[in-house]
Structure 1
Amino acid sequence: MNIFERLTSGEEIPMNHPDYGEIGVEVNKTIALSTKLNSSKNVHEIRQTLSEIIGSPIDESTTVFTPFYTNYGKNISLGKNVFINHACSFLDLGGIIIEDNVMIGPRVSITSENHPTAIETRKTMLPSKVHIQKNVWIGASATILPGVTIGENSVVAAGALVNKDVPSNTVVAGVPAKILRKLKNGV
């Protein structure tokens, strides 16, 4: 497996690993494409350039507003009828899956990357996939941390810090996010 496959499989990779430099090469390519992305003149152009960044076509029903930030991009999977508002940041070396009909508010941060707290191992990448299931709504300025799955139909309130899985059909809020209530019949 190459370093990117090992990251998406959850393998811890120290920054002094001989293959770690490959990440920098790919990040530089993404930075160049991000400049093009964030100067796009319309949603169609955004969709085209973001498709190039993530390495797969984005469905015409999906809309992303710029600016949009990602460090790698190739480990982002976007479903159909997804809406991503302005100034979102996705750190995707561990993988980010966004299913159909998801709405993401402005300034949302999703990261699939972490580091140990111990000084001697802090320069180790701890990747862990983030999975946003169907019909989720993530409010403005929410932060989704590595390894989190947000269940179908759930709502993450604006400003929430999600550090553990969110069950389907729930509303979560706060820092850290806690369940406020269950949704019944979408309400």
Structure 2
Amino acid sequence: MNIEEFIKYCKEGNPVSSIDKELSPFLHECAQNAIKTCMEINNSYHTPEEVRKLFEKLTGENIDESFTCFPPFYSDFGRNIKIGKNVFFNCGCSFQDRGGITIGDNSIIAAGALVNKDVPSNVIVGGVPAKIIKNL
């Protein structure tokens, strides 16, 4: 298995344990890449376009131009995040995305939210863990 096969394996929803000797190195590599990219996002000013490009680097996915994030932002894996159109992340959000997270179109992630599961379209979520606060 290589890193791209591992990421595909994770995106398919397969369980990964840090004690699995075959998969653990890939898990560690993805986590370290997420930490590195989140540090890039968080530690200096970036234009909205630059933030979007850093999120593309983090997720390995194309991110719509309508996406906005106010850093800081944190992720434990990064490669299992899918972001819809017209999505806003307020400051201090954390994503635990090893199992995969999809953020639906027109949704808002409130400041300080801990997102650990999918967020449907047209909602505001907040809290730890994040729950729907309001339908839009």
Name the amino acid aligned to 1:132. Answer: V
The residue type paired with residue 105 of structure 1 is: A
Aligned twin of 2:37: 33
Q: Any gaps of 5 or more consecutive residues in structure 1?
A: 112-129, 145-154, 158-170, 172-182
Aligned match of 1:110 in 111, 115, 129?
Answer: 115
Superposed CA RMSD in Å reads 2.2
Work out the percentage of aligned pairs sharing the same amino acid.
31
In structure 1, the partner of 2:95 is: 90
Structure 2 partner of 1:67 = 72
Structure exhibiting the larger radius of gyration computed from Cα positions: 1
Task: Say yes or no: does 1:9 pair with 2:12.
Answer: yes
Q: Which residue of 1 aligns with 2:132?
A: 156
Within 2, Cα distance between the matches of 1:82 and 1:109? 16
DSSP-derived class of the 1:100 partner: coil
Q: Report whether the alignment pairs 1:135 with 2:122.
A: yes
1:25–1:97 distance in 2 versus 1, CA, 3 Å: same
Pick closer, same or farther for the CA change 1:137–1:12 going to 2, 3 Å. Answer: same
Match in the other structure for 2:50 = 45
Change in 2 beyond 3 A, CA 1:55/1:40: farther
Q: State the Cα distance separating 1:68 from its structure 2 match.
A: 0.3
CA contact (8 A) 2:105 2:121 kept: yes
The Cα of 1:101 is off from its aligned counterpart by: 0.3
State how many pairs are aligned.
131
Q: In 2, are the aligned partners of 1:7 and 1:94 still within 8 Å (CA)?
A: yes
Which is bigger in relative contact order (C-alpha 8 A, separation at least 6)? 2
CA distance in structure 2 between the partners assigned to 1:57 and 1:6 by the alignment: 20
- Alpha-carbon distance in structure 2 between the residues aligned to 1:45 and 1:37: 9
Distance 2:14 2:63 in 1: 28
Tell me, yes or no, if the aligned pair for 2:30 and 2:78 is still in contact at 8 Å: no
Q: Which runs of 4+ in 1 moved over 4 A?
A: none
Structure richer in strand, relative to its length: 1
Question: Contact 2:30–2:79 (CA<8 Å) still a contact in 1?
Answer: no
Higher fraction of helix: 2
TM, length-normalised to structure 1: 0.62
Change over 3 Å in CA distance of 1:33–1:61 after alignment to 2: same
Query: Unaligned stretches of 5+ in structure 2?
Result: none
